[in-house]
């Protein structure tokens, strides 16, 4: 029997749900040599050997175009960075770290502001201004009232997307609004801590009726970017990347160097102060991590 191509939707306990080219989902185990040499991720394209109508054996994992490890998913086209406008409050540093993650992995970053119904209009407007000024697409949504869901659905159409953001931001609620048949479990935000209760326990790649896939992922409140070089950090901030060509020194880190194009753009209002401040904090963090490694 000839092997066939499929896409891994999820894996639990060494057993993987693989969507076939015909749209059917079968259960597969990997060959021993694959199991020992490679962690199979949701989103992996695989070659499998059918054993029966509902079972098969994964014989090969095809080369990945992109991979991120938190959330752990392969072959993603874009990262949808979800932040609630309230309950929990926006964490600009986490948003910026996730955007850097997307930029560094070659993914298209999209900012999705959820729960716009909970705050005055000025709140999402201010957040939108920060990230649109940086060059990102910003979606303003309310999963509860259906605001912006059509635009989000169009953004997901035909692509493999991963949602990322803190617990309680409403990732599962947004996906349920995009495609009600998904029936993903949602949770409430703790009144005591102001943090969301995690409802997604593992990464699962979900086929969408509009075409494409989306990864529903566990939420988290912290993110380390251990593999990045601080010297290259400004390349992952689009607005800094745009203006650093005006710096006198090619090695400019945009701290205290003279004739810095980034600081000039900051002074002129072309760069949001929060973005610049978070760049400096991330730069310090990466430099500290580098010192501890060596």
- Polymer length of the chain: 294
Per-residue pLDDT, 216 = 72
Beta-strand pair 67-69/25-30: unpaired
Q: Which residues have CB under 8 Å from 171's CB, separation 6+?
A: 82, 163, 164, 165, 200, 216, 217, 219
Distance of CA 151 to the CA centre of its chain: 18
How far is Cα 133 from Cα 126, in angstroms, rounded to an integer? Answer: 11
Per-residue pLDDT, 32 = 85
The predicted model gives 109-129 an average pLDDT of 98
Q: Name the pLDDT band for 108 (thresholds 50, 70, 90).
A: very high
Dihedral sign for Cα atoms in the order 144, 149, 155, 161: positive
Q: Which domains does the chain have, with CATH numbers?
A: 4-61 (2.40.50.140), 67-216 (3.40.50.300), 230-293 (1.10.40.50)
Q: Name the pLDDT band for 276 (thresholds 50, 70, 90).
A: very high
The predicted model gives 203-221 an average pLDDT of 82
The answer to whether the beta carbons of residues 198 and 2 sit under 8 Å apart is no
More confident of the two residues 37 and 63: 63
The predicted model gives 171-198 an average pLDDT of 67
Per-residue pLDDT, 198 = 41
Q: Of 7-16, 176-185, 209-218, which one has max mean pLDDT? A: 7-16
Question: 166: closest CA among 86, 73, 68, 88?
Answer: 88
């Amino acid at each position: 029997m000839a092997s066939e191509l499929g896409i891994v939707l999820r894996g639990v306990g060494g057993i993987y749900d693989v969507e076939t080219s015909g749209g059917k989902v079968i259960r597969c185990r990997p060959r021993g040599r694959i199991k020992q040499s490679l962690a199979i991720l949701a989103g992996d394209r695989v070659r499998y050997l059918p054993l029966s109508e509902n079972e098969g054996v994964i014989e090969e994992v095809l080369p990945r175009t992109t991979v991120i490890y938190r959330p752990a998913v392969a072959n993603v086209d874009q990262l949808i960075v979800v932040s609630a406008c309230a309950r929990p409050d926006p964490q600009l540093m986490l948003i910026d770290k996730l955007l850097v993650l997307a930029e560094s992995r070659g993914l298209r970053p999209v900012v999705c502001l959820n729960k716009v119904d909970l705050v005055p209009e000025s709140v999402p407007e201010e957040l939108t201004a920060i990230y649109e000024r940086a060059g990102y697409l910003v979606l303003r949504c309310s999963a509860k009232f259906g605001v912006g869901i059509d635009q989000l659905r169009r953004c997901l159409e035909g692509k493999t997307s991963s949602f990322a953001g803190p617990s309680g931001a409403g990732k599962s609620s947004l996906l349920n609004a995009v495609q009600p048949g998904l029936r993903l479990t949602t949770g409430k935000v703790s009144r005591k801590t102001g943090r969301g209760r995690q409802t997604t326990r593992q990464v699962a790649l979900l086929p969408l009726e509009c075409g494409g896939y989306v990864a529903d992922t566990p939420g988290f409140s912290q993110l380390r970017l251990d593999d990045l070089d601080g010297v290259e950090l400004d390349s992952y901030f689009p607005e800094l990347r745009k203006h650093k060509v005006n710096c006198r020194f090619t090695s400019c880190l945009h701290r205290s160097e003279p004739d810095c194009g980034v600081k000039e753009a900051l002074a002129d209002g072309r760069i949001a102060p929060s973005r610049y401040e978070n760049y400096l904090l991330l730069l310090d963090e990466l430099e500290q991590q580098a010192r501890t490694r060596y």
